[in-house]
Amino acid sequence: MSASSHSRYRVAIACGGTGGHLFPGLAVAEKLRQRDCEVTLLVSPKDVDQQALKDAKDFSIVTLPAVGLKRGSEAAFLRGFGKSYYTARRLFKSHPPHAVLAMGGFTSAPPILAGRAARARTFLHESNTIPGRANRLLGWTVDQAFVGFSSATSRLKRCRVTISGTPVRSQFHVRDGASCRAELGFEPQRPVVLVVGGSQGASAINEMIIKALPNFARVAPEWQWLHLAGPKDLDRLEYAYAKYHLPAIVEPFLHRMELAMGAASAVISRAGASSLAELAAMRLPALLVPFPEAHDNHQWHNAQAFAGSGAAWFVEQKLATPELLVELMLHLVRNESVRLSMQAALALWERPRAAESIADNILELITTTNSRAADRATTAPIHSAAPRQKESATAC
């Protein structure tokens, strides 16, 4: 099917709240845009969304007044839900979408419900091993679901489920490490360790690294560090790296995450499904530290799936002592056989056509729906005025 045949299609993608929802949504949006679709991104007011979308010039962007559901803030969540629904309803009345795709999280449900009211085809994507609460509920209402892990399939009820993998943006692929290091200002021939706690940083991982730095300075003084810390711990981390004379770049957030991963010899990371998909695409050896407060402990299950296949190592946060961190990272950075084995396992997790597959499935269902509607309109019986008046009188 040619790209021009899709130019009349409008697709709304609800993908805000965290980088784990936003960036896979952007990957699908890129593929739909390549097929000449008109794409609207529905995001949250959070800084991670607003910062990441500064350069997204090819899409319409609508901010929904949604807030996450936390204990003690139920009233704020319900108000945000209602306002988000009516915002989406008004948008869809003025620009009716042919399809609405939800990428999970607290921005998902209102656009899907508004999309159904607008008679759009509805879809969701679940990237984690265990679907989140929003997606478990939406599974009863959408036409089709896409999942990153096969284990999520049985937990989504009623809708048709396709194992697509988790989309990554096109710039995530194997890169030349020395070139990436040089572009970031590092010494190209020396190892770089990347530390990232997710799109908003992770205070627990930051604290863990600070405690381990004296050990790293003693056994691996030649390592260079790229630490994405979030906004809160920036000064403390810069001071700690300087104190132990370790060359480091500490940033709150990095737009070019593919450059950071390309420069890294190994990474210490949370275990969000979107991050794992990017690690697989870039073949980056990782020590995963799952976020212990994640709903349904899904990051632990994500990490277990990767570790069970040999694609990563993981350690629970409460067990991650400085000594253990140093021991594991020394193996990841310096042991070539460990690295090659892990990279081979990562290759098996890569799904390079995930975004393309999701885009094509959405367009196929839209096209089928429109064709059936056109067929019904073409084959509908045509009655003369007199019989219609007679039928109307009889009905009355």
For 115-163, what is each residue's pLDDT tens digit? 999 999 999 999 999 988 888 888 889 999 999 999 999 888 788 999 9
For 23-78, what is each residue's pLDDT tens digit? 999 999 999 999 999 999 999 888 777 777 877 777 899 999 877 767 777 788 78
pLDDT at 317 over 90: yes
d(CA 180, CA 128): 29
Fold for 177-349, please state it. Answer: Rossmann fold (3.40.50)
Q: Would 3-166+352-371 and 177-349 be classified into the same CATH topology?
A: yes
d(CA 393, CA 396): 5
Lowest-confidence range among 264-278, 280-294, 372-386?
A: 372-386
Please report, for the chain, the start and end positions of each structural domain, with discontinuous segments joined by +: 3-166+352-371, 177-349
**What mean pLDDT is reported for the chain?**
89
Q: How far is CA 305 from CA 100, 147, 272, 299, in A?
A: 30, 14, 12, 10
d(CA 143, CA 120): 10
Q: How far is CA 136 from CA 73, 133, 152, in A?
A: 21, 5, 10
Question: Is the full-model pTM beyond 0.85?
Answer: yes
d(CA 14, CA 105): 9
Fold for 3-166+352-371, please state it. Answer: Rossmann fold (3.40.50)
d(CA 331, CA 13): 41
Residue where the block lists tokens 């269902």: 365
d(CA 111, CA 95): 13
Helix, strand, or coil here: 364? helix
> Distance from first CA to last CA of the chain, Å, rounded?
48
> Considering just the CA atoms, what is the radius of gyration of the chain in Å?
24
